[in-house]
Structure 1
C-alpha cells in the first residue's frame, strides 16, 4: 500500500470518528432545510440576479431554502475539516519528523476534503429535491459543492492558527453569518452592493439562484469561489509545510514512520 493510500485511509478514519459531525449531518442539514422551506413565505419576491443581470421572481421559501442549505453545508464541512485537522495535527508532525512524505499527507487531506464536501453537498441537495424542483439540478449541486469546498479549506486554514475546536467553531459560524446574511435577496437590502461580489459564498449563491430559477448557464460567478478556494488552500499549504518542516534528518526515518503508522489506528480510535 502506497504512502498516499495509507494516509488517506487514516484521514478518512479520523473523519468517520467524529460522531458530532455525523449527527449534525444526519439531523442539522435536513432540519435547517426543512425549517427554511416551511417557515418562510411562498410569496413571490422580485430580485436581480447579479450573475446575469436578470430580474427574477421566486418564492421566498425557495430562496430561503437555498441560502439556508449553503449556510448549513458551510458550517458543517468547515467544522468537520477543522476538527479532523486539529486532532491529527500532532500526529502529522510526528510522521514527517520520522520521514513520512509530506506530499502524501497533503494529498490525503485534499482527498478527505473532496470526499467530505461531495458527501455533504449531495445529501443537502437530495433534501432540497424532496421539497422543490430547480430548473438545473446539476448546476445546483455544483454551487453547493463550491461552498462546501471553500469552508472545508477554511477549516483546514483555521486549524493551523486557532488553539481549540470552540474557537474554530465560533470563527466559522461568524464568518458564515457575515458572508451569507448580506447576500440574501429577501432579508438584506445590501444584496445589490458591489462589495457582495468579494464575499466567499458569492459565487455559490449566485450559481444556486441561477440553477433554481433560470435555464441560463453562466459559470462566471464560480471564478469567485475558485479564487477563495485557491487562496485559503495555498495559505493552509504554506502553514502546514512550515509547521511540519524537519530541520535535522532523523536517523532510521523509514522505520520510525512505519512504526508510527502501525500505531495510527489506536491513536485515531482513542480520539
Structure 2
C-alpha cells in the first residue's frame, strides 16, 4: 500500500524529483537529466502504476490521490499530498491535472526477442516531434501494433510531453531504438517481416491494394516534411500511399500512421 506523506514546505527534499519541471535544464526527463519517466493526470498515472516502469513516488492534491486509491493500494510507494499552491511552486507551474508520478526507466527490450514475439511493427525514422510521437504510440496501442522500432533521428518517446499526449500508452507499447536503417532491415528480414514504406509518391501502391494485414508486416514512417530517406524507401519491400483528394499532398504523420495501422488489422 502507498504511504501518504503530507508536504507543506516547497523546499521539502522528498519531492525533489518533481522540482522545476518548467525549467529545461532541471527537467529529469530531458537529455542530461536523470532519465525519469513523468506521468501527469489520474488516467496516465494509473497507467504508469500498472506498467513495468518502477514508480518512485507521486505528488498530488488530495482529491486526485483519492481518485487513485485503488491502484495505490497495490503498490508500495510514497504518495506526497500537498495543497495546489505548494504543488505549483514545487513543479514550477499550476498543474490542472492535479497529480504527477515519477518512475525509473524499464530495461529496453532485446530487439530479437521483441521481433520474435510480434507480428505488427511500426518503424519510425526521423520522428522528432514529441506530440507526434505521443499520438503515434496512442494509435499503436489502440489499433493493435505490437512494437515500435525507433530508427535514426527519432526522439525519446518517454519525454514528458510524449507520455502525456499518448495518454500513457507509450508505457504500454514496447519499443526499441535501432542505430541505422540497415540494422532495421537486417533485423526485420531475419525475423521474416515484409516491409512497407509509407510515402505520398504517386507510384506507390494504394493502401487498399497493399495487403498490410499479412502475417508479420512492418510499416515504415518518416518525419513530416522530408518523409522517409531514400535509404528507407529503397530498402523496403514495397512503398505504399494513402490515396487523398486533389490538392492535399500529405497527412500528419500520426494520422497517416493510424490509417496504416487500421489497414494492418485488415480494415483498410
Fold match by TM threshold 0.5:
no
Larger strand proportion of the pair = 2
TM-score by length of 2: 0.20
Larger helix proportion of the pair = 1
**Which gives a bigger RCO, structure 1 or 2 (Cα 8 Å, sep 6+)?**
1
